[in-house]
Amino acid sequence: MATLKAVRGTRDLLPPETALWNRIEQTARQVFARYNFGEIRTPIFEDTALFARGVGEETDIVSKEMYTWEDRARAQSEKAQSLTLRPENTAGVVRAYIEHQLGEGGKLQKLYYIGPQFRRERPQKGRYRQFWQIGAEAIGPPSSGSESPLRDAEVLEMLATLLDELSIAGWRLEINSVGSAADRARYNEVLRAALEPVAPKMCADCRRRAVTNPLRVLDCKVPEDQPIIETLPKIGNSLDQESKEHFAAVLAALDAAGVPYHRNARLVRGLDYYTRTTFEFTHGGLGAQNALLGGGRYDGLSEALGGPRAPGIGFAMGLDRLVLTLEAQQRALPETIYIDTPCDAYIAPLGEAQNAPALALARELRKSGLRVEIGDGTFRLKKSLEIANKLAWRIVILGEDELKSGIVTVKNFLTGLQAKVSREELSAYLKGPVGRNPA
């Protein structure tokens, strides 16, 4: 029979690597809490229309990367619903914001999420069909200050802090402004005109975008198209006074906070709903897939989804790429980011009669906070010692005599010394320094 494998573009995450994933998630949760963000968990699948409207028909995501299927209709009268595995989470968060009327009361909502996303892309290093994102959104009615450039700067400063606390060395922030919806419409016309003579020399996608959505051309990844893209007019010249001032205020706040950035006039990002500030954090160690995260302001998204006016700013960070970056750094640096740390103790029952008492002892020790592994009474002592030596600092030997007397034998693999310890003192003893001499 053919063996079954994980589907192309998906993969299993195994220990000890999952410890690094957990550490990143924990650090993110701690940082988000300090900036007063709360966690939101939205469904993994949504109505396809949400992404068509919320991400944009003309984007790569919606036009070719989504996992979509027709759900079975429950009754004859019912239409089958088109469902899609979420390719990103901002649309889901804004849908939830609208659905639960989170803007009522004029409060700014600060929400973060951690979870898997799905895109049918060509799998390669740093690019998978199921991947994980950590993201956050600050969204609210205009009266909540959600439009303020200070919010943009706060989010960017938080990201700089998070990447630093994760000890990601050498990140680079690129930033741009794509202006208001009106600025973008104006720029799109300028671009359309500029593209007319050159589009025939570009890739098939760009030839199509040049007509349907010229802005998307700037996001093209085809190397041969880059020299042409370089010659196109820049969006900065199409911004109105208000957008220019907003952008200047974001940059001034970043300067004040000491967050370094690089302006990139070509940065437009892949999603249709972005307005004003757009940004990306990149890392040189990632190769072709060099974006650690991307984000920006999306002042018109809520309305595009049928909701009230609710300006917002957010980002999505590729967790897989953070892991790759940290692993590469770890190979370069001697200090370890995760190691398969030994247990505090390995309990070795000497016979099958000691199995049940060994489990009871393990329970006691684990309840006291120790990390404990347990053997089996059918093992010979030699075998127990071999296993224990590989996965724990110490072995606790539990034979018939030890059970009767209530005094167990503890052997320390680091010092090679052995000690008799009473059961009452065992937990405290095992919590002591591994290197200490037994009394």
Q: How far is the CB of 293 from ligand ATP (least distance, A)?
A: 5
Other beta carbons within 10 angstroms of residue 194's beta carbon come to 17
Chain residues binding ligand ATP by CB under 6 A are 88, 119, 121, 126-128, 131, 133, 270, 289, 291-294, 316, 318, 320-321
Q: How far is the CB of 88 from ligand ATP (least distance, A)?
A: 5
Q: How far is the CB of 325 from ligand ATP (least distance, A)?
A: 10
Q: By C-beta, is 37 or 298 nearer to ligand ATP?
A: 298
Q: By C-beta, is 299 or 344 nearer to ligand ATP?
A: 299
Q: By C-beta, is 52 or 102 nearer to ligand ATP?
A: 52
Q: How far is the CB of 60 from ligand ATP (least distance, A)?
A: 7
Q: How far is the CB of 14 from ligand ATP (least distance, A)?
A: 18
**Six-digit token pair at 334?**
């001697």
Residues with Cβ within 8 Å of 421's Cβ and at least 6 positions away in sequence, in order, are 407, 408, 410, 429, 438
Q: By C-beta, is 130 or 415 nearer to ligand ATP?
A: 130
Q: By C-beta, is 270 or 357 nearer to ligand ATP?
A: 270
> C-alpha angle 191/244/177, rounded to 5°?
55
Please tell me whether residue 348 adopts helix, strand or coil conformation.
Answer: strand
The DSSP 8-state label assigned to residue 106 in this structure reads S
Q: By C-beta, is 92 or 126 nearer to ligand ATP?
A: 126
Assess contact for 173 and 279: CB atoms under 8 A. Answer: yes
Q: By C-beta, is 37 or 279 nearer to ligand ATP?
A: 279
Q: How far is the CB of 346 from ligand ATP (least distance, A)?
A: 38
Q: By C-beta, is 126 or 214 nearer to ligand ATP?
A: 126
The half-sphere exposure of 177 on its side-chain side, counting CA atoms within 13 A, is: 24
Q: How far is the CB of 400 from ligand ATP (least distance, A)?
A: 56
Q: By C-beta, is 272 or 320 nearer to ligand ATP?
A: 320
Distance CA 234, CA 100 (A): 39
Q: By C-beta, is 250 or 293 nearer to ligand ATP?
A: 293
Write b or e for each residue in 18-37: b if 16 or more Cβ atoms lie within 10 A of its Cβ, otherwise e. eebbeebeebbeebbeebeb
The half-sphere exposure of 360 on its side-chain side, counting CA atoms within 13 A, is: 8
Q: By C-beta, is 222 or 391 nearer to ligand ATP?
A: 222
Q: How far is the CB of 147 from ligand ATP (least distance, A)?
A: 22
**Six-digit token pair at 276?**
């004003």
The half-sphere exposure of 362 on its side-chain side, counting CA atoms within 13 A, is: 21
Please tell me whether residue 294 adopts helix, strand or coil conformation.
Answer: strand
Tell me the β-bridge partners of 275: 297
Assess contact for 287 and 298: CB atoms under 8 A. Answer: no
Measured at CB, which residue is nearest to ligand ATP?
Answer: 318
- How many residues can be counted in the chain? 439
Distance CA 197, CA 244 (A): 30
Q: How far is the CB of 372 from ligand ATP (least distance, A)?
A: 37
Put residue 145 in one of left, alpha, beta given phi > 0 → left and psi -120 to 50 → alpha.
left
Distance CA 90, CA 268 (A): 17
Q: Which of 80, 127, 143, 78 is nearest to 289 (CA)?
A: 127
Distance CA 69, CA 45 (A): 10
Please tell me whether residue 372 adopts helix, strand or coil conformation.
Answer: strand
